[in-house]
Amino acid sequence: MSGVKVKNYINGKWSGSITGRTLSRSNPANISETVCTFPRSDAKDVDSAVKSARSAFEGWSRTPAPIRGHYLIKVAEILESRKNELGKIVTKEMGKIFPEGLGDVQEAIDIAYYMAGEGRRLQGETVPSELANKDAKSIRVPVGVFGMITPWNFPIAIPAWKIAAALVCGNTVVFKPSQFTPLCATKFVEAFHEAGLPAGVLNLVMGTGSEVGNPIVNHRGIDGISFTGSCDTGRQIQAQCAKLGKSCAAEMGGKNAIIVMDDANLELAVDGAIWGGFGTSGQRCTAASRLIVHEKIFGRFAKEFASRATKLRIGDGSKKETQMGPVVSEEQYQKVLNYIEVGKKEGAKLVCGGKTAKIKEKGYFIEPTIFTGKQGMKIEQEEIFGPVVTMVKVKNYEEAIQVANGTKYGLTGSIYTQDVNTSARAEKDLRTGIVYINAPTIGAEVQLPFGGAKASGSGYPEAGGKGGAIDFYSRIKVIYRDYSGKLQRAQIDVGY
C-alpha cells in the first residue's frame, strides 16, 4: 500500500485516530493506485473534535463578523493559488474529468469570497416602535457547533458551501467528509489552517458513516447538522435531529428532467442533455437523468442524442482528451449496472450503452447509457447516480409537466423552448427548487440559494441569497431598548 498519509484535524493539530486504525482510498480510474490512507476514526475522535469546537465557540462567536469574513478571503486566495493542484487531486480521488475538477475548486473559491462579504452584511432589521423613546431591532447571532456531513461528488465545493457560511455566522464546525474523498478534504482544510483560523473553529474527522457520521448526529454537544447525500440517510438524520432538538438541513438528491418542446433549438437541447446527463458521469444530484421530449421531434432528438453519447471519450479524467470519467467506487459501479438490468427487465428499450466500457484503464467505467421508456419505470423514478438517461415521449406541454413532476423528487427542472409564454408557464409549473430555461439541470451559482422541493431537500437551502445558508447558520435575536426612563407597556400604552 502506498499513497499519501493524511490525518484528522482537531483543535488546530493534525493527528491520527485514537485507535490508530486506518482506511485507504484508490483512484477510481486506476484501482491499483492507492491515493491515500486516512484515519478510521470513531466516536472518541468525534468527541474530541466536538469538545474542541465547543471550547472555541465563545471566542469565535465574539470575533467581529467582518474579521471572520477576512479569514474566508485568505482561504479563497489560498485555494485560488492552488486551483490547478487541487483540481488534479479531485480528478484522481473522485474521478471527474480535470476541467470539472477545476470547476469544483472554483466553486469553493467563489463561495468563500461571497460569504466573506456576508461578514459585512449579516443583516437584521430596525423597525419603528409603537412607543416613544424606544428602539426595536433584530440582529443575527450564531447557533453554536455544527456537524457537516458531505458527499464525494463535489469534494471541495460542497464542504465550502457549508463551512464558509457557518463560520462567517460565528459557528464552529466538526466536518466529516466522504470516505471516498479524504485527501480532497485534507487539502481543503489545510487552506483554513494556513489562513490562521483559530484552533478548534474547524475540525476534520475522517471515517465511515456508521463510525463517524452517526456519532456526530447523536452528539449532545452539536447544535445542528448539515447533510448532503442519499434520501434514506437524510431521512434518518432528520428523524434523529428532531428527537434531539437539533437544527437540520438536508439536501437529498433528485431525478431531474429536461423537457424538450417541439419548437426547441434542437442542437442546443442535445448539448444540454449531453452535459446534464453525462457530466460527472451522471453523479450529480442535479443530473438530467430524464429527458421528456415532444413526440413531433422525438425521433430526431433521440437519434442525435444517442449519436453524441456514443462518441463521448471515456477514460482517466486526468487525460486531456477524456470527456467522461469513471463512477466513484465498486459499490456505485455495481449499483448502476444493476439498474441497467432493471431497465431491460422492465421493458425499456436500450438505445445505446448498457455495459462496462471497454478501455485500457482498469477502473469503474460504464458506457453512456440511454433508454427510451415510460413514466413509472424504476429507471425513470429512482435516482441512479450514474451515466444512465431515460427518454420519455409526450404529446404536449401539459403531459410534459405531468411527467416532470411525477416523481418524489423536486430538485431541478429544465425546459427547452423558444416560446416565451411556454417558458413563463414552466417557471411556475415545474415543482422544483431550481428551474432552468434553455439550459440543462446543472449549473447553479453561489449567489442564489441551492435546494429542492419534496424529497430533494429539507430545511434551508445551501449557498447565498435571501432564504439561503445564512438563515440556517444564524438565528434572529430581537432587541427592544427603552430609553424613556419610565415603564411603558406595549399594546397598552399605545395611546390611540
Over the stretch 293-324, which tens digit does the pLDDT of each residue have? 999 999 999 999 999 999 999 999 999 999 99
| Cβ–Cβ under 8 Å, residues 7 and 15 | yes
Annotated catalytic residues are 251, 285
Q: At what angle do helices 83-94 and 65-81 cross, to 10 degrees?
A: 80
What are the percentages of helix, strand and coil residues in the chain, rounded to 5? 40, 25, 40
- The single-letter code of the amino acid at 342 is V
DSSP 17: -
Starting at the earlier edge strand, list the strands of the sheet with 8-10.
13-15, 8-10, 202-204, 172-176, 145-149, 224-228, 247-251, 457-458
Q: Which CATH superfamily is domain 4-252+456-479 in?
A: Aldehyde Dehydrogenase; Chain A, domain 1 (3.40.605.10)
One digit per residue, pLDDT tens: the chain, 496 residues?
568 999 999 999 999 999 999 999 999 999 999 999 999 999 999 999 999 999 999 999 999 999 999 999 999 999 999 999 999 999 999 999 999 999 999 999 999 999 999 999 999 999 999 999 999 999 999 999 999 999 999 999 999 999 999 999 999 999 999 999 999 999 999 999 999 999 999 999 999 999 999 999 999 999 999 999 999 999 999 999 999 999 999 999 999 999 999 999 999 999 999 999 999 999 999 999 999 999 999 999 999 999 999 999 999 999 999 999 999 999 999 999 999 999 999 999 999 999 999 998 899 999 999 999 999 999 999 999 999 999 999 999 999 999 999 999 999 999 999 999 999 999 999 999 999 999 999 999 999 999 999 999 877 899 998 889 999 999 999 999 999 999 999 999 876 6
What are the DSSP calls for 86-126, one per residue? Answer: HHHHHHHHH---HHHHHHHHHHHHHHHHHHHHHTTT---EE
User: For the chain, how far is it from start to end, CA to CA, in angstroms?
Assistant: 81
As a whole number of angstroms, the distance between CA 283 and CA 286 comes to 8
Span 211-258, pLDDT tens digits: 999 999 999 999 999 999 999 999 999 999 999 999 999 999 999 999
Dihedral sign computed on CA atoms, order 441, 442, 443, 448: positive
Dihedral sign computed on CA atoms, order 289, 292, 295, 296: negative
> For the chain, what is the total number of helices (H) and then of strands (E)?
15, 25
pLDDT number for residue 457: 87
- Which residues in 22-90 belong to E strands, given as ranges? 22-27, 30-39
The CATH T-level fold of domain 257-437 is Aldehyde Dehydrogenase; Chain A, domain 2 (3.40.309)
- Which residues in 395-461 belong to E strands, given as ranges? 409-410, 412-416, 434-437, 449-450, 453-454, 457-458
Q: At what angle do helices 397-404 and 420-429 cross, to 10 degrees?
A: 30
Question: 147: closest CA among 244, 40, 15?
Answer: 244
Span 166-225, pLDDT tens digits: 999 999 999 999 999 999 999 999 999 999 999 999 999 999 999 999 999 999 999 999
Question: 394: closest CA among 311, 296, 280?
Answer: 296
Prediction pTM value: 0.96
Neighbours of 346 (CB within 10 A): 15
Domain boundary assignment for the chain: 4-252+456-479, 257-437
Q: 42 phi and psi, to 5 degrees?
A: -145, -165
Question: 153: closest CA among 97, 103, 94, 231?
Answer: 94
As a whole number of angstroms, the distance between CA 409 and CA 335 comes to 19
As a whole number of angstroms, the distance between CA 231 and CA 455 comes to 7
DSSP 328: S
Cell readout for 345 is 427487465
| Cβ–Cβ under 8 Å, residues 180 and 152 | yes
